[in-house]
Amino acid sequence: MTNSLNDIRHAKSMIFIGSNAAEAHPVSMLHILHAKEVNNAPLIVVDPRYTKLAAKATDYVRIRPGSDAAFIMGLINAVIKNNWHDREFIRTRVAGFEEMAEVASHYTPEVVEDITGIPASEVTRIAEVLANNRPTSLTWCMGGTQHHIGSSITRSFCILQLVLGNMGKSGGGTNIFRGHDNVQGATDMCVLSHSLPAYYGLKDGSWKHWCRVWDVDYDWMVSRFKEKEWMNKKGFTIARWYEGVIQEDKIEQYTPLKAVIFWGAASNSQSQFFKLKKALDQLELVVIVDPFPTNTAAACAKDNVYLLPSSSQYETSGSVTSTSRQIQWRHKIVEPVHGCREDYDIMKGLVERLGFADTFYKNIKQVPEDITLELGKGSLTIGYNGQTPERIKRQTENWHTFDIDTLEAKGGPCDGEYFGLPWPCWTTDHPGTPILYDISKPVARGGLPFRNRFGLEKTYDSSGRTENQLAAAGVYNPGSEVRGGYPEFKDVVPGTNWKTDLSQKTLRHAIDRGMAPFGNARARCVVWNFPDQVPIHREPLHSPRPDLIAKYPTYEDKPNHYRVFTRYRSE
């Protein structure tokens, strides 16, 4: 989420796609309705069904499920064709625009109507509403992500905001409303099968970085795996872990799974539940860590289930990260009841019995404060290192000193800080970053350019055109020594870069020069390491429109996709 719930108050228009905030995120409605009623901002809701949010909308757009990318690329095409795009923003801060525009040109209003069911005239009209009411706050939820081309759909949202020049601005941005108070935090800590915490991935360098953070010998860590190669391989996804048990499809796994732990997770939204049920009945051990028995526990047909009753959020303490990248401290209200135990205690019991407690808790003496510190020490990629438990607690206790419009504290012990110290919060004296990619503020005061991640120059295969990937001259944060684009910082401490320098000297060196540690680059419209370099529509696998399947085919089948053979075209 580039901006925040509060910042929506500054929007001049809003578009919600696959998001029913009135029911799923009711707190946000305070800010949404403020923008609508005070700013007279149009509220556009795009959804297959007429939701409670749609009832508050000025414009309701009914879309066929799974056709979001076609609609958004159609909006982009309409914006460009009518010369409503922000030419200067694109010239100075965007890469791959020409290649993207060529793809978007195929999504005429008539083509979009055929794919989405949205009248052609509505496509052009909505584009004009957005063009005439900037900045626009764009928000999506799982209605935009949970599709087989979810990555293309969400990328198209970002490209639309780039084309309109709405990124890095108050009232604009791309905003993803999370479902629970710490979903963002869980994502940042990468409770996933393909990455270490803070999006470091699974390469050897990433493992070595975190081994330094944990003060654990790298060779010992390698020894924990059956073979070295498995250390760098993605695991199963939560959607298809059962394939590792039933083994009905081709998989890349050296042995069938024998045990599974559900920790604060049920199977309520699991597709192909009959396969999951079959797996549960084959497992030797099913462990469920939850305050209550879940439907997963009830689904098991044999006596292989153990319930470890955990505490609720009111019976534990620690840091959580909200949808707006804000970190807050949750205080314990009561002690766990009815034999429940805190997650920390359950983890401690498991680690002790598994025999590596001394290694696991090497840096953790005070729980949960030391856990927050250890995670922050290693999460340099996203700037978790400035949010110490002391700062987070102080903010939580002084929330009333923060301005509802700017989220900045005025007076009191948190003066000048932004609420929740939204990441990246680079150092212990950094105020946090309320709006990502905002070049109107100094980096030391929460400003940021776009990150440089993929080299300094790109040659596009289709045209042979070469383009500088760094921001244009004249694009920089106030106080920057370099008045234009620059690459990421490295070798300030020999052999390290800003993501691996645990001394944080690299971070401070960059900020002292008024510059961002990760460089100053252009945002990409073309992602050359993705299956679709520019977002396109691919017809949903189980489409009610078979005539569109040939015109907009799905992907080829993917072997070893998160260890499982995944059918697309053959399905």
What percentage of the chain's residues is helix, strand, coil (to nearest 5)?
35, 15, 50
Q: Which domains does the chain have, with CATH numbers?
A: 6-176 (3.40.228.10), 183-366 (3.40.50.740)
Cβ–Cβ < 8 Å for 244, 253: yes
Q: Give the ranges where 230-286 is alpha helix by DSSP (H).
A: 243-246, 273-282
CA distance 132 to 478: 29
Query: Is the peptide bond prior to 424 cis by the omega test (within 30 degrees of 0)?
Result: yes
Per-residue confidence in pLDDT tens, the chain, 571 aa = 999 999 999 999 999 999 999 999 999 999 999 999 999 999 999 999 999 999 999 999 999 999 999 999 999 999 999 999 999 999 999 999 999 999 999 999 999 999 999 999 999 999 999 999 999 999 999 899 989 999 999 999 999 999 999 999 999 999 999 888 799 999 999 888 999 999 999 999 999 999 999 999 999 999 999 999 999 999 999 899 999 999 988 999 999 999 999 999 888 888 899 999 999 999 999 999 999 999 999 998 888 899 999 999 999 999 999 999 999 999 999 999 999 999 999 999 999 999 999 999 999 999 999 999 999 999 999 999 999 999 999 999 999 999 999 999 998 999 999 999 999 999 999 999 999 999 999 999 999 999 999 999 999 987 889 999 999 999 999 999 999 999 999 999 999 999 999 999 999 999 999 999 999 999 999 999 899 999 999 999 889 999 999 999 999 999 999 999 999 999 8
DSSP code at position 486: B
Element of type H or E holding 155: helix 150-163
SS (H, E, C) 412-463: CCCCCCECCCCCCCCCCCCCCCCCCCCCCCCHHHCCCCECCCCCCEEECCCC
Cβ–Cβ < 8 Å for 58, 43: yes
Two structure tokens written together for 304 = 């292989």
Strands 327-330, 318-321: pairing is antiparallel
The residues that bridge with 289 in the sheet, in sequence order, are: 263, 308
Q: State the residue for tokens 């604009």.
A: 172
- Residue-level pLDDT at 271: 84
CB atoms within 10 A of CB 300: 15
Burial of 538 (0-12, 13-18, 19+ CB in 10 A): buried
- Residue-level pLDDT at 192: 87
Two structure tokens written together for 219 = 């060779």
- Residue-level pLDDT at 449: 98
Three-state DSSP class for residue 123: helix
Cβ–Cβ < 8 Å for 2, 435: yes
